[in-house]
Amino acid sequence: MRETLKDLYTTELLQTVAGRIGEVYARFDEGRFLGLIHNEAWEQEEFKQRVRHITMALTEVLPGSYPEAVAILTQAAPFFRGVEYIFFPDYVELNGMDQWETSMEALAVFTHYSTAEFAVRPFVIRDQERMLAQMATWAESDDEHLRRLASEGIRPRLPWASQLPSLIRDPRPALPILERLKEDPSLYVRKSVANHLNDISKDHPELVLELAANWYGKHPLTDWIVRHALRSLLRKGDIRALAIFGYQELEELEGIEVRELKIKRPLIAVGEELEFSFQVVNDTGSPVSLRIDYEIDYMKASGKLAPKRYKCSDKRYAPGCWTVEKKQSFKLISTRRFYSGDHRLHIIVNGKRLASMDFVLEGAE
């Protein structure tokens, strides 16, 4: 059973790739290719390391002429779809930095079958102006994969990828591309635009807030982007972000309360769920837009508490008393380590903590 991304690279997958390339390039040495991959380093490598390992093996067995090698890979790539095949665009990143036109044509093909979002970044770092012009061209494409690449490839803080220091310092050169894509019919593209803006908000919140205020309310597809783009600021309870969506500061509202916060079992073990409920009371006399989050102060190895906020509810509440029930899993996952001890739960409405309660986690480190 596959457990991690690196385990996608089975012997069967690599043999299938080698066989397909061999159909295109009769001199392809499949045995040498597989031998170069399955060396002493392979078992210890993680996903991105294995991607580069495969790329280097391809570099050894394909023709020394870069255009000839790319032409071979371009014919083979359409038979392989999925993130595990990003060694096709990675070949361009490793070997094609000095042959710009050939590389751009290849990346435009490869991104359709895996993604070239990682491979374009060294080109951006080397010549940002030229690559932004290329991205602007791709943003006009009929192919949603190219339109997404126009945004995703220049995200300043793309996960798993090298950062783009120049665009972190000043993201404004990328904004015309996002402007072009703000009403894109493809959810695939809109997600990238939202994630791109969320990246920018971590370094330039004022810039994103200004853009969001200008965009919001003009088109439903753009509204979706804005809401997802501001998710980090909304989770922080940023009153400027909340105001864009009509959430008032609670200081301006009388009659909004959280009552009867209850934790079903205040002592839970790792692997179980924290079950809790509370009442939202609206005594204002009118429907009110409320964004309700809950925050857990997790015990850390240092003995200190570190908060993590989660979305709970985001809607208009009519006058009355409304019961909300939630569960939060404490199952072991690779992205979070749990520590035994006192934890704390907070209920946050429109950015303000209105109720808190302690609980204890046991059975962790």
Predicted pLDDT of residue 3 = 65
State the Cα–Cα distance between residues 21 and 16, nearest whole angstrom: 9
Q: What is the pTM of this model?
A: 0.86
Per-residue tokens: 327: 């569960």
Per the listing, tokens 């060294």 go with 122
Of the candidates 272, 279, 213, which has an alpha carbon nearest to the alpha carbon of residue 240? 213
Q: How many residues does the chain have?
A: 365
State the Cα–Cα distance between residues 261 and 357, nearest whole angstrom: 7
| 112 residue type, one letter | H
Strands 341-349 and 352-362: antiparallel
| 292 residue type, one letter | I
**pLDDT, mean over the chain:** 95
- Each residue of 40-49: pLDDT tens digit? 999 999 999 9
Look at residue 1 and tell me whether its pLDDT is greater than 50.
Answer: no
Dump the DSSP string for 12-31: HHHHHHHHHHHHH-TT--HH
- Each residue of 263-298: pLDDT tens digit? 999 999 999 999 999 999 999 999 999 999 999 999
- Each residue of 161-213: pLDDT tens digit? 999 999 999 999 999 999 999 999 999 999 999 999 999 999 999 999 999 99
- Each residue of 308-317: pLDDT tens digit? 999 999 899 9
